[in-house]
Amino acid sequence: MSTAAWNTARELRIKLKELSLNLEPEKGKHSKYYYYWLPKSVVNLRDLTILELSGLELGYSFSFPSLKSLSLKDVGLAYNVKNDVLSKSLLDCPSLEKLFLSSCYKFSSHHPLRLQSSSLKLMEIKSNVSLQVEAINLEYLVLDLVCFGEINISACKAIRNLSLINCEWGKTDQSSFEDLVSNLPHLENLTLDTKYYKSGLERLKISSQHLKSFKFSNGNYMIKDVTIKSTPKLTSFCYEGNMNCNISLESPNLLNGKIVIKDYPPNYDTNWFINMINFFLNLNCSWNIVTLHVFSDEALIMPDNCKRICHSPLLNWKHVRVITRTRYTVRKSDLRYVLMWISPSLKTLSINGEDIF
Range of the domain at 258: 254-357
Instruction: Band the pLDDT of 1: cuts 50, 70, 90.
Output: very low
Whole-angstrom distance, CA of residue 166 vs CA of residue 191: 11
Number of domains in the chain: 2
Paired strand residues for 238:
215, 258
Q: Please, are residues 296 and 326 in contact by the beta-carbon 8 Å criterion?
A: yes
Q: What is the CATH classification number for the domain harbouring 148?
A: 3.80.10
Instruction: Band the pLDDT of 2: cuts 50, 70, 90.
Output: very low
For residue 8, the model assigns a pLDDT of: 40
Residue 70 lies in a domain: yes
Q: Please, are residues 97 and 123 in contact by the beta-carbon 8 Å criterion?
A: no
Domain boundary among 105, 125, 159: 159
Q: Please, are residues 240 and 217 in contact by the beta-carbon 8 Å criterion?
A: yes
Residue 151 lies in a domain: yes
Whole-angstrom distance, CA of residue 158 vs CA of residue 118: 11
Residue 200 lies in a domain: no
The conformation of residue 231, written as its DSSP 8-state character, comes to -
Are residues 154 and 264 located together in one domain of the fold?
A: no
Residue 297 lies in a domain: yes
Q: How far apart are the first and last CA of the chain?
A: 77
Whole-angstrom distance, CA of residue 151 vs CA of residue 133: 8
Whole-angstrom distance, CA of residue 236 vs CA of residue 257: 6
- List, as one string, the DSSP characters of 104-119: -TTS-SSSPEEEEESS
Whole-angstrom distance, CA of residue 176 vs CA of residue 239: 22
Domain boundary among 102, 134, 159: 159
Residue 321 lies in a domain: yes
Of 126, 123, 63, 132, the closest CA to residue 97 belongs to: 123
Domain boundary among 125, 159, 193: 159
Lowest mean pLDDT among 4-13, 117-126, 285-294, 326-335: 4-13
Whole-angstrom distance, CA of residue 102 vs CA of residue 99: 10
For residue 154, the model assigns a pLDDT of: 87
Higher pLDDT, 95 or 223: 95
Whole-angstrom distance, CA of residue 356 vs CA of residue 15: 61
Residue 12 has pLDDT above 70, yes or no: no
Q: Please, are residues 60 and 89 in contact by the beta-carbon 8 Å criterion?
A: no
Element containing residue 153 per DSSP (H, E): none
Q: Please, are residues 78 and 86 in contact by the beta-carbon 8 Å criterion?
A: no
Q: Please, are residues 231 and 252 in contact by the beta-carbon 8 Å criterion?
A: no
Q: Please, are residues 166 and 197 in contact by the beta-carbon 8 Å criterion?
A: yes
Are residues 261 and 140 located together in one domain of the fold?
A: no
Element containing residue 259 per DSSP (H, E): strand 255-261
For residue 5, the model assigns a pLDDT of: 41
Backbone angles phi, psi at 148, to 5 degrees: -60, -35
Are residues 151 and 267 located together in one domain of the fold?
A: no
Residue 213 lies in a domain: no
CA angle (339, 343, 347) in 5-degree steps? 85
pLDDT for 238-288, tens place per residue? 999 988 889 998 888 999 999 999 877 778 888 889 889 989 988 888 999
The conformation of residue 338, written as its DSSP 8-state character, comes to H
pLDDT for 140-196, tens place per residue? 999 998 887 788 898 999 999 999 998 877 654 567 778 888 889 999 999 999 877
Whole-angstrom distance, CA of residue 17 vs CA of residue 19: 7
Are residues 152 and 258 located together in one domain of the fold?
A: no
For residue 3, the model assigns a pLDDT of: 46
Whole-angstrom distance, CA of residue 58 vs CA of residue 85: 8
Could you tell me the sign of the dihedral formed by the alpha carbons of 225, 273, 266, 322, in that order?
Answer: negative
Mean pLDDT of 120-148: 91
Whole-angstrom distance, CA of residue 288 vs CA of residue 234: 13
Q: Please, are residues 99 and 129 in contact by the beta-carbon 8 Å criterion?
A: no
Residue 239 lies in a domain: no
pLDDT for 28-70, tens place per residue? 665 566 788 888 888 888 899 999 999 888 888 889 999 999 9
Residue 138 lies in a domain: yes
pLDDT, mean over the chain = 85
